[in-house]
Structure 1
Amino acid sequence: MEQISRARVGEFLRRLEEFDFSGALKLCTDSAVVWQNDGEGEQAMDKRLDHFKSFVTTVASLRYDVNHQVGEANEVFQQHVLRLEMTDGSSAEVHAAVYFHLDGELIHRIEEYVYTVPATSAA
């Protein structure tokens, strides 16, 4: 089950990189929630993905670089850097420690602790 959990988290991140938000949502339970330390508190997954969708309107590409990942039967903890290339040519990084809880083969809860590195100008 650990391999399934880690694979599901990887697939979820790939869907986000492809801006496939409906595909990402299909990898989650109907009652999935996300908590992030951004002051928004806990939100339903579909609402959080809507927020993410509006956030990436100025993003040309994004990539998750996973630095560390451990998993158990229904849990995955990872540290990653989300690298953003903006449409204006600038770039930014979001460093995160993320806990994923799965119910069966679907993501049920995400807890995300993030630190955003300010955008750098295009050279």
Structure 2
Amino acid sequence: MGRTPAETAATYLRHLADREWAEARALCTADATVWHSDGTGDSGIDENIAGMQAQIGSIASMEYEIGRQLGRRTGTADELLQQHVVHVVTADGGRFDVNAAVYFGFEDGLIARIEEYATAVPVPPG
């Protein structure tokens, strides 16, 4: 039996946190797209993962804390709305949290669409 959409999304995020790019990519359709609330518009999943790879050198660690997940089936596709916080520690010891609401659209059990509404918030020292 395959994974549920919630399990697939959580596994995808775990692979990103662990820098397992190929494993994360394998959970997505060939033409998966990603949209971020930063105004850059849509990108392909390969471009999105490559962008993360390019920036990861300044990141010491990332941990995804999943809060709420709401899922539904529409016709033959699954959808998942997830609230999570990414706890980030930078290589120079800085800390910030990324508060995100993320939509995942699925086709045949794979992630076909990601829409991420996110805000980064510095974590005060202490």
Provide the TM-score with structure 1 as the length reference.
0.91
Structure 1's unaligned 5+ residue stretches are none
1:120 Cα shift?
4.6
Match of residue 111, structure 1, among 88, 110, 115? 115
Q: Does 1:35 align with 2:39?
A: no
Q: Tell me the equivalent position of 1:69.
A: 69
Report the AA paired with residue 114 of structure 1.
Answer: A
Provide the TM-score with structure 2 as the length reference.
0.89
- Cα distance in 2 for partners of 1:96, 1:55 equals 19
Q: Tell me the equivalent position of 1:79.
A: 83
SS of equivalent residue, structure 2 residue 4:
helix
Structure 2's unaligned 5+ residue stretches are none
Aligned residues: CA RMSD: 1.6
**Residue by residue, what CA displacement relative to the aligned partner does 1:10-65 show, whole Å, maximum 9, x if unpaired?**
11011011011111001000000000011211000010111111222111110111
1:95 Cα shift?
0.5
Q: Tell me the equivalent position of 1:26.
A: 26
More displaced 10-residue stretch of structure 1: 80-89 or 110-119: 110-119
Q: Which 4+ runs in 1 deviate beyond 4 A?
A: none
What number of residue pairs does the alignment pair up? 121
Report the AA paired with residue 59 of structure 2.
Answer: V
Confirm or deny: 8 A CA contact 1:90 1:120 kept in the other structure: no
Report the AA paired with residue 95 of structure 1.
Answer: N
1:119 Cα shift?
5.7
Confirm or deny: 8 A CA contact 1:60 1:87 kept in the other structure: yes
